A and B are shown apart, each in its own frame.
Chain A
C-alpha cells in the first residue's frame, strides 16, 4: 500500500524557536497533502491543505504565518512551526493524496509529537 512517513517522530524545543516537520510520500506522488493537529482525547483537526507548487489553503482559525507549509515537490511537504510556544505542543499528522480528483483516498503518516518547553 501507499506509505507516508513523517520526520521527526517526536521533537522537544525551547519556546521561541522554530521547528520543521517533514512529510514524505514514499511510493507515490502526492498532488495534495494535508496537515492535521490532534490534542489529547480530541479529534484530528485539519489545519491546511497544500497542493504541489501552490500556496496552502488554511482552515479558519489557523495562523498561516505561524504554521508555514511548503509543498515544493510531489513527495515532500513541510510544516514549520515558527516561534513555537507551549500552547503549540501537540501531535501533528500529515496525509497525502495521489490526485486532486475528489474521492481519492488520503494516506496518513504516523504523526509527530511536538513538545515546546
Chain B
C-alpha cells in the first residue's frame, strides 16, 4: 500500500538554525509528493510539491527534492524563523491532489 513516514517531533531549534525534517514514502506507482504546513488555529496549507523524480519543490525558503532512489522527500530550510513554528505534514498522492496520504506530522518549535 501507500504510506508516508516522517520524523517524530517536536523539533526544537533556535532562530537562524538549519532545518531538516525527514520524510520517506512507500508507494505503488509514481506518486506526487507534498509538504503541508499547519499554523496554530489554521488549516493545512500547501507549502511545496514535486511531481516526478529529481524535481525540487521550493517556497518561502523551504526546499524538498523528490529522491526516487531513496524514496525520500526531506524538507529543508537554511535559516528558520520564529514564524516558521508550525506542524509540517509530508504527503503523497498517486492521483494528483485528489487522494492524499499523510504522514503523522512534525511539530517545529523555533525560539528567538
Contacts and interface: CB of A to CB of B under 8 A. Distances in A.
A2 B105 CA distance: 23
Contacts, number: 53
The SS class assigned to the B binding surface is: loop
B40 to A, nearest CB: 10
B100 interface: yes
Interface residues of B, number: 22
A30 interface: no
B42 interface: yes
B31 interface: no
Contacts of B104: 41-43
Given A43-B103, A43-B104, A108 B97 contact: no
A46 B99 CA distance: 8
A51 B9 CA distance: 35
A90 interface: no
B4 A43 contact: yes
B46 interface: yes
B34 to A, nearest CB: 10
Interface of A: 1, 4, 32, 41-46, 49, 93, 95, 97, 102-111
